[in-house]
């Protein structure tokens, strides 16, 4: 690869992908010996997890526009589970049960980009996982005791919360910058009024662990730009956070050209403790039920740091002293110093302002620019246990290891191909583990058996324990790996069965409590599922039959009374387009209108015993 490619690439963003494929199909650069036969055996041993033993890490990978979260084991790279988050999933009844429908609303899909673990003292605590939905502007929280989603909220005034900013050190906040700027409340406004009526609203989301509820604490009406990646400060930078921007040109059409004009965009550097204080002091306006800080009127706490054009990732070093921006359209990585930034703020070393937000002098905050030779398209940076940085290079398709203290390139490894993010073991905590990094590749190109014109994406596991980085495993993955987080397996404490819930009015835990109650044209079934039968009304002639009238509204409340780990039952009614799941001890409700008269078998969808096939009954719908 020649450095001369840079202007061509920067000049035509559409060329990025084309260039990538070109590179991928030509034997260029350092990519050549990742999987030579001499290393194959050793690599196989390194990733082999024998039956009966378990992986050392969980990898939580975002499912992009599948809307879901994919869970893998590392180092085996085996896919363990898909947890439905923003999209329907018939395998688990997500999007059919009443509980999940209440969280999903009318949406049937989402675009999950950034997962983020809850943290205590800057370390993953293994309790919760947060995620955002770019497509339908939502945020979600998953309980890691059960790997199920507990809450989903819509985030008003914003459009496309791309990056769940890796939560603050003690999960005080999850910040949601927005990819698209829109008028507040998504009201109508001509694009000719973009600069005056549109905002890129950033939301400060909080989580109440007791109530298991997310809420929006306050928002900031940032200028009408696009906000991309972000990271929270730690240690000496606790209370601060950084967000990258692009389209500070405020283009409203042809973004691929028009949003790449200016040589510099900005990093938004803000002090959330100060913003929190401003809100407490009433320095905000209430719009659409939200407390919004308008930087043009409410002064303080927010600064702009100039950065090479259209940056993508920004990552805070584990020791919290620096933040590193990646160029996307520039080959440069820029290392900024928090200490220098704090001094520059104190001395008011400003070069101007935009929308009332002071712009810090680039030179006052920048520590060094890093340009690893021939490396193109830096996107995201992770860290190891020695504070060394690993940056994915989208265009030159590699991971480059470098020293943030000196800027020196230490090592590089080709990946196949075009990595977006990578994720290191506990990589964005205050104490990364080293050991492993996984490249999340956008393109796999002939790495796996062909499945037609669209090839699978891939993840590659890289061993960091030797003197050189080494790719030791590749795994095809579902679309689309954006970002992932990797946590030590022993930090996650799952439960074996759901406890009985005496406060759940829909739960029944014994056969004699089962019943079918009618209220007008509403029919409530309080039933149980157990190996290997349904009992909807133990006193009835046929306890496994539900009989209703055409047009009735039917609620089936189903409790799984098998308090045995892994005995999950399903409940589907043929031709009624519904299916739910009840895990051991769990109660779930499915609601439907019996709008089709006739006879419909119902059955357990989840294989639960040798007599699983017998676990069936009938829904009889009497015609009007």
Contact between 225 and ligand CUK (CB under 6 A)?
A: no
Beta-bridged to residue 306, according to DSSP, are: 266
In degrees and rounded to multiples of 5, residue 25 shows phi and psi of -95, 0
The distance of closest approach from Cβ of residue 96 to ligand CUA in the complex, given in angstroms and rounded to an integer, is 17
The distance of closest approach from Cβ of residue 34 to ligand CUA in the complex, given in angstroms and rounded to an integer, is 44
Question: Assign residue 549 a region: left if phi > 0, alpha if psi is -120 to 50, beta otherwise?
Answer: beta
Partner that binds at residue 179, options ligand CUA, ligand CUK, none, CB closer than 5 to 8 Å by kind: none
Among 138, 298, 401, 421, binds ligand CUK (CB under 6 A): 421
CA-CA distance, 523 to 190, in Å (whole number)? 50
**Of 431 and 532, CB closest to ligand CUA:** 532
Residues 480-499 within binding reach of ligand CUK (CB under 6 A): 482-483
Partner that binds at residue 113, options ligand CUA, ligand CUK, none, CB closer than 5 to 8 Å by kind: ligand CUK
Partner that binds at residue 608, options ligand CUK, ligand CUA, none, CB closer than 5 to 8 Å by kind: ligand CUA
**Of 587 and 606, CB closest to ligand CUA:** 606
CA-CA distance, 521 to 613, in Å (whole number)? 32
Among 31, 380, 442, 569, binds ligand CUA (CB under 6 A): 569
CA-CA distance, 233 to 318, in Å (whole number)? 9
When computed from its CA atoms, the radius of gyration of the chain, rounded to whole angstroms, is 26
**Of 113 and 322, CB closest to ligand CUK:** 113
Contact between 65 and ligand CUK (CB under 6 A)?
A: no
**Of 548 and 604, CB closest to ligand CUA:** 604
Contact between 301 and ligand CUK (CB under 6 A)?
A: no
**Of 113 and 127, CB closest to ligand CUK:** 113
The distance of closest approach from Cβ of residue 569 to ligand CUA in the complex, given in angstroms and rounded to an integer, is 4
Among 22, 48, 448, 607, binds ligand CUA (CB under 6 A): 607
Among 167, 201, 379, 472, binds ligand CUK (CB under 6 A): 379
Among 329, 604, 619, 621, binds ligand CUA (CB under 6 A): 604
- Give 3-state DSSP helix, strand, coil % of the chain, rounded to 5: 15, 40, 45
**Of 378 and 584, CB closest to ligand CUA:** 584
Question: Assign residue 520 a region: left if phi > 0, alpha if psi is -120 to 50, beta otherwise?
Answer: left
- Any idea which residue has 């819509």 for tokens? 154
- DSSP character at residue 396: T
- Residues 182/198, Cβ–Cβ less than 8 Å: yes
Contact between 308 and ligand CUA (CB under 6 A)?
A: no
Q: Which residue, 273, 271, 249, 350, is CA-closest to 305? A: 350
Contact between 608 and ligand CUA (CB under 6 A)?
A: yes
- Residues 222/250, Cβ–Cβ less than 8 Å: no
Among 79, 612, 616, 618, binds ligand CUA (CB under 6 A): 612
CA angle 318, 323, 325 (to 5 degrees): 125
Q: Which residue, 10, 158, 24, 121, is CA-closest to 455? A: 24
Partner that binds at residue 435, options ligand CUK, ligand CUA, none, CB closer than 5 to 8 Å by kind: none
Structure tokens at 372: 């690893």
What is the contact mask toward ligand CUK in residues 110 to 139, using x (rule: CB under 6 A)? ---xx-------------------------
In the β-sheet with 112-120, what is the strand arrangement from edge to edge? 112-120, 123-133, 138-143, 148-154
Q: Which residue number has the CB closest to ligand CUK?
A: 420
Question: Assign residue 398 a region: left if phi > 0, alpha if psi is -120 to 50, beta otherwise?
Answer: beta
Beta-bridged to residue 390, according to DSSP, are: 382, 401
Structure tokens at 480: 């689309």
CA-CA distance, 442 to 366, in Å (whole number)? 31
Among 222, 546, 615, 619, binds ligand CUA (CB under 6 A): 615
Contact between 558 and ligand CUA (CB under 6 A)?
A: no
CA-CA distance, 225 to 182, in Å (whole number)? 10
The distance of closest approach from Cβ of residue 500 to ligand CUA in the complex, given in angstroms and rounded to an integer, is 19
Contact between 328 and ligand CUK (CB under 6 A)?
A: no
CA-CA distance, 614 to 91, in Å (whole number)? 20
Partner that binds at residue 312, options ligand CUK, ligand CUA, none, CB closer than 5 to 8 Å by kind: ligand CUK
CA-CA distance, 527 to 509, in Å (whole number)? 9
Q: Binding residues for ligand CUA, per CB under 6 A?
A: 529, 532, 569, 604, 606-608, 612, 615
By CB under 6 A, name the binding residues for ligand CUK: 113-114, 162, 229, 312, 379-380, 420-421, 482-483
């Amino acid at each position: 690869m020649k450095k001369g490619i840079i202007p061509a690439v920067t000049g035509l963003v559409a060329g990025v992908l084309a260039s990538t494929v070109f590179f991928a199909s030509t034997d260029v650069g350092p990519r050549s010996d990742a999987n030579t036969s001499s290393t194959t055996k050793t690599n196989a041993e390194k990733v082999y997890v024998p039956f009966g033993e378990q992986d050392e890490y969980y990898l939580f990978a975002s499912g992009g526009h599948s809307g879901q979260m994919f869970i893998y084991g590392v180092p085996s790279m085996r896919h363990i589970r898909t947890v439905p988050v923003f999209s329907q999933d018939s395998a688990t009844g997500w999007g059919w049960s009443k509980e999940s429908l209440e969280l999903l609303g009318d949406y049937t899909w989402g675009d999950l980009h950034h997962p983020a673990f809850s943290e205590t003292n800057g370390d993953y605590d293994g309790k919760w996982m947060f995620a955002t939905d770019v497509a339908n502007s939502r945020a979600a929280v998953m309980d890691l005791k059960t790997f199920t989603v507990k809450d989903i909220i819509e985030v008003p005034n914003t459009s496309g919360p791309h990056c769940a900013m890796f939560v603050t050190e003690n999960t005080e906040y999850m910040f949601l910058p927005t990819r698209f700027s829109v008028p507040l409340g998504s009201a109508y406004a001509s694009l000719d009024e973009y600069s005056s009526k549109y905002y890129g609203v950033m939301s400060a989301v909080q989580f109440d662990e007791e109530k298991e509820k997310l809420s929006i604490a306050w928002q900031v009406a940032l200028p009408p730009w696009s906000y991309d990646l972000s990271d929270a400060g730690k240690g000496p930078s606790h209370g601060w956070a950084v967000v990258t921007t692009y389209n500070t040109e405020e283009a409203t059409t042809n973004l691929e050209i028009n949003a790449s004009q200016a040589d510099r965009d900005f990093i938004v550097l803000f002090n959330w403790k100060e913003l929190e204080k401003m809100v407490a002091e009433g320095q905000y306006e209430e719009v659409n039920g939200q407390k919004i800080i308008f930087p043009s009127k409410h002064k303080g706490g927010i600064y702009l740091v100039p950065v090479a054009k259209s940056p993508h990732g920004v990552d805070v070093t584990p020791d919290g002293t620096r933040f590193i921006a990646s160029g996307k359209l520039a080959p440069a990585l820029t290392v900024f110093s928090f200490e220098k930034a704090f001094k520059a703020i104190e001395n008011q070393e400003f070069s101007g302002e935009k929308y009332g937000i002071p712009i810090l002098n680039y030179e006052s905050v920048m520590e060094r620019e890093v340009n690893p030779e021939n490396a193109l398209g830096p996107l995201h940076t992770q860290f190891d246990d020695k504070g060394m940085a690993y940056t994915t290079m989208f265009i030159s398709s590699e991971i480059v290891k470098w020293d943030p203290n000196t800027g020196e390139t230490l090592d590089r490894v080709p990946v196949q191909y075009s990595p977006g993010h990578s994720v290191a073991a506990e990589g964005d905590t205050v104490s990364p583990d080293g050991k492993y990094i996984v490249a999340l590749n956008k393109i796999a190109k002939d790495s796996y058996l062909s499945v037609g014109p669209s090839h699978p994406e891939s993840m590659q596991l890289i061993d960091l324990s030797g003197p050189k980085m080494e790719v030791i495993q590749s795994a095809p993955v579902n679309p689309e790996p954006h970002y992932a987080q990797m946590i030590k397996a022993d930090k996650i404490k799952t439960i074996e069965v759901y406890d009985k819930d005496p406060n759940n009015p829909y739960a029944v835990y014994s056969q004699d409590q089962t019943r079918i109650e009618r209220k007008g044209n509403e029919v409530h079934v309080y039933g149980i599922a157990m190996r290997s039968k349904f009992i909807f009304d133990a006193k009835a002639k046929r306890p496994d039959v539900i009989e209703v009238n055409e047009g009735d509204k039917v609620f089936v409340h189903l409790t799984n009374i098998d308090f045995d780990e892994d005995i999950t039952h399903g409940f589907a009614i043929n031709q009624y387009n519904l299916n739910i799941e009840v895990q051991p001890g769990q109660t779930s409700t499915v609601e439907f209108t019996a709008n089709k008269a006739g006879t419909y078998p119902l059955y357990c969808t989840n294989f639960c015993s040798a007599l699983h096939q017998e676990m069936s009954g009938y829904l009889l719908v009497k015609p009007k």
